Amino acid sequence: MKKYFEGKYSLAINFWGFLIFGGLIVRGVCGYFSAYLNAPDLLLLAIIYTFITSVVTWRSASNNKQSDPSKYIWKGTAAQIISLLHVVGGVYIFFDMYLNII
């Protein structure tokens, strides 16, 4: 787990495996069951998962860009932008569902 949280896995595993495909599964299952069971608190699990995987993907992209900047600068930057967009979406869902501000 320490290796995961430090972003030591490859960028491809963190981005495609955890952030994109894992996020689709977790958010899809939590979204379905929160609507089916009328339990919006399940969305909090999806938001937490999104924040964790976004931070880890950001760290992995930073490590990737430092290892070979000329080769990986665009991949790392693109992964960081998409991670940031996931965090913004999670914040939006949190404020919309739990605080009804937006």
What six digits make up the tokens of 84?
């940031």
Widest CA span in the chain: 50
d(Cα 35, Cα 62) in Å, to the nearest integer? 37
Q: Would you say residue 84 has pLDDT above 60?
A: yes
Q: Mind giving me the DSSP string for 47-88?
A: HHHHHHHHHHHHHHHHHHHHH-HHHHHHHHHHHHHHHHHHHH
Residue 6, Cβ neighbours under 10 Å: how many? 12
Per-residue pLDDT, 52? 94
Q: How many domains does the chain have?
A: 1
Per-residue pLDDT, 53? 94
Domain of 38?
Answer: 2-99
What six digits make up the tokens of 18?
């955890």
Q: Which whole number is the average pLDDT over 38-66? A: 90
